Amino acid sequence: MLAITCPGQGSQTPGFLTPWLELPGMRDRLHWLSTVAGLDLEEHGTVSDETTIKDTAVAQPLIVAAGLLGLLGLFEHPADGFRVVGVGAGHSVGELTAAAAAGVITAEQAMVLVAQRGRAMASASAATPTGMSAVVGGDADEVLAGIERHGLTPANVNGAGQVVAAGTLDALAALGDDAPAKARVIPLPVAGAFHTEHMAPAVDSLARLARAVSTHDARVPLLSNADGAVVSSGREVLRRIVGQVASPVRWDLCMETMRDLGVTGIIEIPPAGTLTGLAKRSLKGVETLALRTPADLEAAHRMVREHGETRTSSQPAWRLVVAPVKGTVTLAPHGLGDALDAGAVVATVSSLRDEHAVVSAHGGQVVEWLVEEGDPVSPGQPLLRLHPTGQSA
């Protein structure tokens, strides 16, 4: 099974996008993504210095755009990836890259969201001098106890003996002076205490924007940073991405899920390297590749051939039952998880002149109600989502 991983903030380095822009069409694609984000990402990915690209408002859109370019180099058409990738995962802001790659949101939606995410997190970071430091090595329990003792948060539990502490700069300095036994404390090039309560204002800002975003269920299963769970519902993917801004990243649990799923190969897209290093230490026997430059594409394509699992089934992941007319909806008493036969009545839509029974043309399991009792609905508006069972009326 092939996994695609998408890195987070701190993985960028000056000039890392330069070789990618030599590929046909990449410069124009980056110009388009730059226009959507409202930033000159070509300049930041090629000539901007380390201080500039460390700025959260710059770093986050740059990382997502770089990932999208790398994916375009790996899979010329998104459907090529959908057929062979077994699972996808992103670390922190990389979850937006993964969501776009899996078809949950468009590339343009991802750039709008990440631009706002970066600005909101930069604003939240400016309220109090905060940062993050990697704690590498040491006993896991002692490391967590040391982080807590200094009033810090284990914002990233990355596995492979690495925990990232986040909080005020004074507290991080104190942790550095009082490092846990056999552990090193390494300051990271980020501008705030991400994935802590310091980012709560950014969650509110991003949540408002996300409410206006249309989503699709993932074409490739995604792993959530919250708990390593496999998530396919597009709306749930986006909800978790928003909440994760102020919650710890459990990349260790994402890697555990990869192991449980039977992942045999992992390709990390640009700016690659960090997640590959973690996988090498935690997932022994799994082949890994950091896709740093186009020179790595030949090896990446070989890995796709060897680890990808071609899926030929045309069975949909879910089906929608929609309103036939305009009116007010009355729901049938079907709960989440209930199994419906083809031809089952799922609701009634009442207009001023008539009532219309809403019948499911397919059998399936109730996954999600998309309306509430008494809601006004329009013709064609989705009412219910079903996981198909193959029956049809």
pLDDT, tens digit, for every residue of 219-252?
998 999 998 888 888 889 999 999 999 999 999 9
How many helices (H) does the chain have, and how many strands (E)? 14, 18
Are 218 and 71 members of one domain? yes
Considering the domain architecture, whether residues 86 and 230 belong to the same structural domain is answered as yes
The residue from 187, 210, 240 where one domain ends is 187
Q: Are the beta carbons of 365 and 300 closer than 8 angstroms?
A: no
* Residue 192 included in any domain: no
Whether residue 278 is predicted with pLDDT greater than 50 in this model: the reply is: yes
Tens of pLDDT along 72-88?
A: 999 988 888 998 999 99
Alpha-carbon span 215 to 186, nearest angstrom: 38
Are 135 and 279 found together in one domain? Answer: no
CA distance 173 to 187: 9
How many structural domains does the chain have? 3
Specify the amino acid at residue 67: G
Beta strands in 170-317 (DSSP E): 183-187, 222-223, 230-231, 265-268, 287-290
Instruction: Tell me if 222 is assigned to some domain.
Output: yes
| Overall pTM > 0.75 | yes
313 is catalytic: no
**Catalytic pick among 34, 92, 233, 282:** 92
Q: Report which residue type is found at 239.
A: R
Name 308's bridge partners.
none
- Verify that 297 and 388 share a domain, yes or no: no
For residue 106, tell me if it sits in a domain: yes
pLDDT of residue 392: 44
What does DSSP say about strands 162-168 and 87-90: parallel, antiparallel, or unpaired?
unpaired
Dig out the tokens for 33 from the structure. Answer: 């993504």
Question: 278 with 255: CB under 8 angstroms?
Answer: yes
Last residue of some domain: 140, 156, 187? 187
Active-site pick, 44, 91, 150, 195 = 195
Q: What percent of the chain has pLDDT over 70?
A: 97
**End-of-domain residue from the set 272, 307, 342:** 307
Structure tokens belonging to residue 239? 């909800």
| Residue pLDDT, tens place only, 25-64 | 999 999 999 999 999 999 999 999 999 999 999 999 999 9
User: What is the pLDDT confidence band of residue 389, given thresholds at 50, 70 and 90?
Assistant: low
Do residues 17 and 103 share a domain?
A: yes
- 393 has a pLDDT exceeding 50: no
Q: Which of 200, 271, 247 is nearest to 11 (CA)?
A: 271
Range of the domain at 158: 126-187
Question: The CATH number of the domain where 292 resides is what?
Answer: 3.40.366.10
Does residue 314 form part of some domain?
no
Q: Is 312 among the domain residues? A: no
Whether 34 sits among the annotated catalytic residues: the reply is: no
The Cα–Cα gap between 72 and 79 comes to 11
